[in-house]
């Protein structure tokens, strides 16, 4: 695909932000509403993921509602060790959205686990592996922000 953000891909992104069908054939149903074939939709999604236009395509689950745990975490990492520690932290399958901030707590990430016990164990493992304290900031209250980015 020459242009990763051609008109069709923009239409796909803009439309699917508002919902995705829950059915036996969700991609076929979504493709029909987009006036393209299921194969084309799958190919375009795969291409946008491969090229980095999309970093993720899939459902968002409320871990807590399924017995799991979700937490925002932060660490104070010396700048000369940041890349090394970021790789160590990001290697944990429970870690998502690891990013750097211009703050004394300069590494931030989201930790999602299947159980509260796994969350505690993973935090301890990250501390042991990196040698740095993890500041655990579990969600106290959830707010829904209907953020849709129109391309």
Residue where the block lists tokens 């935090």: 123
Instruction: Give the integer Cα–Cα distance in Å for 45 and 102.
Output: 33
Q: Provide the CA 94 distance to its chain's centre, in angstroms.
A: 11
pLDDT at 1 over 60: no
pLDDT tens, position by position, 61-97 = 777 777 788 899 999 999 999 999 999 999 999 998 8
What the block records as the tokens of 58 is 């899939």
pLDDT at 48 over 70: yes
Instruction: Give the integer Cα–Cα distance in Å for 57 and 54.
Output: 7
Instruction: Give the integer Cα–Cα distance in Å for 150 and 13.
Output: 8
């Amino acid at each position: 695909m020459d242009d990763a953000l051609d008109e069709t891909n923009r239409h796909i992104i803009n439309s699917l932000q508002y919902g995705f069908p829950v059915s036996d054939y969700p991609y076929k149903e979504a493709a029909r509403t987009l006036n393209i074939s299921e194969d084309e939709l799958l190919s375009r999604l795969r291409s946008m993921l491969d090229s980095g236009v999309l970093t993720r395509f899939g459902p968002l689950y409320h871990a807590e509602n399924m017995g799991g745990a979700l937490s925002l975490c932060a660490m104070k990492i010396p700048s000369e060790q940041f890349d090394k520690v970021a790789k160590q932290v990001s290697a944990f399958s429970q870690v998502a959205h690891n990013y750097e901030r211009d703050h004394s707590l300069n590494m931030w990430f989201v930790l999602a686990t299947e159980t509260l016990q796994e969350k505690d164990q993973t935090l301890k493992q990250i501390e042991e592996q990196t040698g740095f304290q993890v500041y655990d900031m579990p969600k106290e209250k959830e707010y829904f922000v209907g953020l849709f980015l129109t391309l």
